[in-house]
Amino acid sequence: MVLVHGIGSSGAYFRRLVPELAGRWRVLAPDLPGHGRSPRPPRPHRARGRRGGLLRPVPTLADHADALHALLEAEGARGAVVVGHSMGSQVAVELAVRHPGAASRLVLVTPTVDASARSVLVQVGCMLRSLVREPPSVLPVQVASVLACGPLAYLRTIGPVLAHRVEDRLPGVGVPVTVVHGQSDPLCSAEWSAHLAAAAPRGRLVVVPGCHVLQWSHPAQLAAAVDGEPA
């Protein structure tokens, strides 16, 4: 089972979920490129006598999916159950579409980006509302992860994430898909989660207590949803 974190996050977000799964699964919780302990992309090369860009390239969701596929191949984990949280759900869907057979099942936990909230201002407001509903103990993890990613890289990733239409990609996913909705999540509405479950040819919806970071606030309930039989 492979756990894929969201924007500006890291595998550390799954620290409470891994023990709930480890007795039944071999669990991998990697840091996506440019996140956590993974190296950031190199700065563009500046040819002699020419000005080069100072900003590092920002990996696309497709880049993340390809990197995840390479990891699965290297770890002998082809056909894994792939659990994506928030932006990680978009990466999981891209993986299934771009690399058929890489995943045997997808679990999309509080999947982004809700079609009714695809603007930076709305997202900021939803994130602030979510923040006050999460356990305070997750805040140091959030801060450390954003600093490791780099605040500027985090901000530059928001645009591509908002532009990605996960609902348009889901019909091309041939494996079972479980969408997990947090009852009090302001980032992903109940209607949005139900819409994604319906968009997947073999989709189902599971609702659990909690807000957006379910793997931290309700790891046991999330593990039960992850372990559930696919559609």
- How far is it, in rounded angstroms, from Cα 127 to Cα 145? 16
Tens digit of each residue's pLDDT (9 = 90 or more) over 159-203: 889 999 999 999 999 999 999 999 999 999 999 999 999 999 999
Residue type, 49: G
Residue 2 near residue 99, CB atoms below 8 Å: no
Residue type, 90: Q
Q: What is the mean pLDDT of residues 205-226?
A: 94
Q: How far is CA 61 from CA 64, 87, 89, in A?
A: 5, 9, 10
Domains and CATH numbers, the chain: 2-39+57-227 (3.40.50.1820)
pTM given for the model: 0.90
- How far is it, in rounded angstroms, from Cα 169 to Cα 40? 27
Tens digit of each residue's pLDDT (9 = 90 or more) over 32-81: 988 878 767 666 655 454 555 566 777 889 999 999 999 999 999 999 99
pLDDT of residue 28: 96
The rounded percent of the chain whose pLDDT value lies above 70 is 91
SS3 68: helix
Mean residue pLDDT of the chain comes to 89
pLDDT of residue 231: 44
